Structure 1
Amino acid sequence: MNRFSGKITNFQDEYSLQQNKLAQLCGSKQLFRDRYAILRILGRGGFGITFLARNARLPGNPLCVIKQLCPRTTSRKSWEKACQRFEKEAKTLAQLGSHSQIPMLLDYFEGNGEFYLVQEYVRGCTLAREVRRNGTKNEAEVKQFLREILPILQYIHQNRVIHRDIKPQNLLRCEDDRRLVMIDFGAVKDKLVDTAEDSCNKTATTNFVGTMGFAPPEQFALRPVYASDIYAAGVTCLYLLTGKGPLDFEHDIYTGEIYWQKEVKVSDKFAKILEKMVKFSLDDRFKSADDVIKALGMDSNLPNLANCLTTKPLRGFQDQPKAEPPQTYTSPTNKTAIAIREWKAKLNIHLQVHSSLSTQN
């Protein structure tokens, strides 16, 4: 059966939450698909509705997020494109696997012509809300943000995925461990497949996927590249520093460049990095996350693993008390560096004890 053959009357502009099955189940004891207890609505947009739910069939009834495809359209063609984009998000999440800073795909299914995507629930607030609550950030805090987001971009780009909608609203700060989590992969583009015809986002007047101001010119031309995500990350930095969205800045009427320099107080070196991240011209912009990492000097902090090929504890130190777990998110690289330092410290103690015993004998 053609998966696009269902009626689309339920997805028109006059669509009411009162007609939505999941909305009707909010707060009730009845389970959706005999598994999910629907708690409340998390968000609603032109593309769909997101619900917070619990998996009643798993021990501990863990929380999860259910996205339901509900595009507001009366057009058959737009409905089909929305379905393709929704399915693309599920495939991309499955492709990216279980990265700690990307919500894990738990399920994806169709029922009665409606599409659903179930994801890991990340408790936290967006960077946009964080800035509204706590105010703007300084240079050191924005550099820390780049240290967190650039490795995520490295990872998705290595998997030939372009996010295309990086912005403060799509970046979550997890309450449990303070890690940065990238959400909303509904706008992704696989580098190997030309999906320009799949563009159906109606937030802009042109036929492109993304957000006005955060999307660079090549994205409007439906030719996004990895550097497009670098531009969006740079504009996000400007938001963190000023609290202003990209459309709130003045722009050069001839080149389109953002006039942001007088709005922020950062070092000349960091200003040059930000300037290169948000260049309108691809020729002048950083080409990859690796390039930005090198410019920031982050690559020089990577540990040398040559002398640490085993994690087996030294004899006589098995009963040593373990270090307290960190209160904030620690990247795998930092965890490895900590392990190296602890291993070397224990080795030095062992050698000192051995030397002392040899001297006494």
Structure 2
Amino acid sequence: MSFPPSNLSQFHNDVFRDTELGQLCGTKQLFRDRYLVLRMLGRGGFGVTFLARDLRLPAKPFCVIKQLCPRVSEAKALETARRRFQREAKTLAALGSHSQIPCLLDYFVVGEDFYLVQEYIRGATLARLVRRQGCQSEVIVKRILRETLLLLDYVHQQGVIHRDVKPQNIILAQDRRLVLIDFGAVKQELMQIDNSSKGVTTHFVGTVGFAPPEQFALRPVYASDIYALGVTCLYLLTGKAPLDFKSDRATGELKWQDRIELSRPFARILEKILKPSLAERYQSVQEVLRDLERMSPQNDLNQCMNAQVTPRKTPQDSPTPPRSEKARLAEAIRDWNKRHNQERLIHSSN
């Protein structure tokens, strides 16, 4: 069991002191009489994420609990935030039926904090793989690009913009799937609420360097995810963060061509993906995929990826139908939670 280490920075100490999940971390006390909180996985400007185990299920599986803090206290603003959170959580639940998106197991509001409980994906992020192995070859990066584009195509067809595509949010799972995590849709909706007299404010959701200009202007589109994926490819090829590249003062384009030796066809595709001007960039995933199909045959990512991630055989490794087993499990868990909460209300009223 993981305990908060004694040499934490003040930044992390605040999490363990000021959040309920942090206070429970490393103890035997359960969150909501169900979840054993093990350790913190990460913290952003809008919330914190912990690894936990669901002790009510027979296998006591690992799960991820995300605590989102919209920082509102007025009753009207809080009610608006609650409605938006529930609406976007339902969208995430629908997306989670895809085998390459973590399944949403539960969502709820406790006081002024909002929680998502999601499937835990065993594997390594692309950022970690680069730190371990170094820069990746053009062959591997083209395969990662293509497979992530196919996944984004599904997301975009559901009317969702991810808003935060980056190496830290793409996991190479132990069964060799590329899994897309940490959607910004819920954050976007909740960050538009504050306690001002108008009740609405605007905040940027995304990561500096990966987000294109229109996203900074608070007008993200599907092509914004394509740009961020292009910057992710640069990171995979060079090991350099986007802010490490110089940029053209007139156009804002990153100057990366002298850092990488690429085939001319792939370089042209990457150049178009990375156009700061929305009008010059690829407008849809399908446009990029068509150009990729013209330039190279398709190879299995499992054959060309040099990541040493040991596969773990599970029932989920087998081909899944459109409605996967984990989706059915998540629905069963949500139904069980609903019935359990209703029973608790009945007992408390008696």
Partners of 2:62 and 2:119 within 8 A in 1: yes
3-state SS of 1:100 partner:
coil
Task: Decide whether the 8 Å contact of 1:199 with 1:209 is kept in 2.
Answer: no
Q: Distance in 2 between matches of 1:227 and 1:117?
A: 27
Residue matched to 2:331: none
Deviation at 1:330, TM superposition (A): 9.1
1:177 corresponds to:
175
- Of residues 215, 236, 240, the one that matches 1:240 is 236
Whether contact under 8 Å (2:81, 2:190) holds in the other structure is: no
Residue of structure 2 equivalent to 1:166: 165
CA distance in 1, matches of 2:292, 2:318: 19
Query: What's 1:94 paired with?
Result: 93
Assess if the C-alpha contact under 8 Å between 2:235 and 2:242 holds in 1: yes
Taking the aligned partners of 2:31 and 2:225, their CA distance within structure 1 comes to 37
Q: Which residue of 1 aligns with 2:274?
A: 278
Q: Deviations over 1:185-205 (max 9, x none)?
A: 134699xxxx698289xxxxx
Q: What is the letter of the counterpart of residue 252 of structure 2?
A: G
SS at match of 2:109: strand
**Distance in structure 1 (CA, Å) of the matches to 2:19 and 2:193:** 26
Q: CA deviation at 1:54?
A: 0.9
| Secondary structure class of the residue paired with 1:208 | coil
Q: Which residue of the other structure, out of 172, 192, 198, is the alignment partner of 1:198?
A: 192
Aligned counterpart, 1:315: none
The alpha carbon displacement at 1:207 in A equals 3.8
How far residue 331 of structure 1 moved from its aligned partner, in angstroms, is 8.3
Instruction: State the Cα deviation string for residues 107-153 of structure 1 (Å, max 9, x = none).
Output: 00122333211000011221111111110011001011012101111
- Cα 1:63–1:289 change in 2 (3 A) is same
Q: For 2:66 and 2:191, how far apart are their aligned partners in 1?
A: 23
Helix, strand or coil at the partner of 2:265: helix
Distance 1:50 1:219, change over 3 A: same
Corresponding residue for residue 347 of structure 1: none
Question: CA separation of 1:125/1:28 partners in 2, compared to 1, >3 Å: closer, same or farther?
Answer: same
1:266 equivalent to 2:262? Answer yes
Match of 1:135 in 2: 134
Greater gyration radius:
1
Residue ranges of structure 1 left out of the alignment (5+ in a row): 1-12, 201-205, 303-324, 334-361
Q: Which runs of 5+ in 2 are unaligned?
A: 1-11, 195-201, 299-312, 322-350
Q: Distance in 2 between matches of 1:217 and 1:83?
A: 30
SS of the residue corresponding to residue 275 of structure 2 reads: coil
Residue by residue, what CA displacement relative to the aligned partner does 1:287-346 show, whole Å, maximum 9, x if unpaired?
A: 1111111101179979xxxxxxxxxxxxxxxxxxxxxx99xx89889xxxxxxxxxxxxx
CA separation in 2, counterparts of 1:144 and 1:242?
A: 16
2:287 aligns with one of 283, 287, 291:
291
Contact 2:138–2:237, Cα closer than 8 Å, also in 1: yes
Task: Give the match's secondary structure for 1:247.
Answer: helix
- Aligned pair count? 287
Pairwise CA distance, 1:269: 0.5
CA contact (8 A) 1:35 1:56 kept: yes
Structure 1 counterpart of 2:184, one-letter code: G
Displacement of 1:250 in angstroms is 1.0
The CA RMSD measured in Å over matched residues stands at 3.5
TM, length-normalised to structure 2: 0.72
Secondary structure of the corresponding residue to residue 244 of structure 1? coil
Compared CA separation, residues 245 and 331, structure 1 to 2 (3 A): farther
Cα distance in 1 for residues equivalent to 2:34 and 2:190: 37
Change (3 A) 1:231 1:39: same
**Retained in 2: the 8 A contact 1:85–1:187?**
no
Relative contact order, higher structure (CA 8 A, sep 6+):
2
Alpha-carbon distance between aligned partners in 2 of 1:270 and 1:58, rounded to the nearest angstrom: 47
| 1:41 CA displacement | 1.4
**CA offset at residue 211 of structure 1?**
1.2
2-side partners of 1:82 and 1:135: how far apart?
42
In 2, distance between residues paired with 1:56 and 1:281? Answer: 50
Partner SS state of residue 259, structure 1:
coil
- 2-structure distance, mates of 1:114, 1:212: 26
Please name the residue that 2:148 is paired with: 149
Question: d(CA) in 2 for partners of 1:158 and 1:60?
Answer: 34
Q: How does 1:1-361 map to 2 (within 5 A)?
A: 15=14, 17-70=16-69, 87=86, 89-174=88-173, 176-187=174-185, 198=192, 207-297=203-293
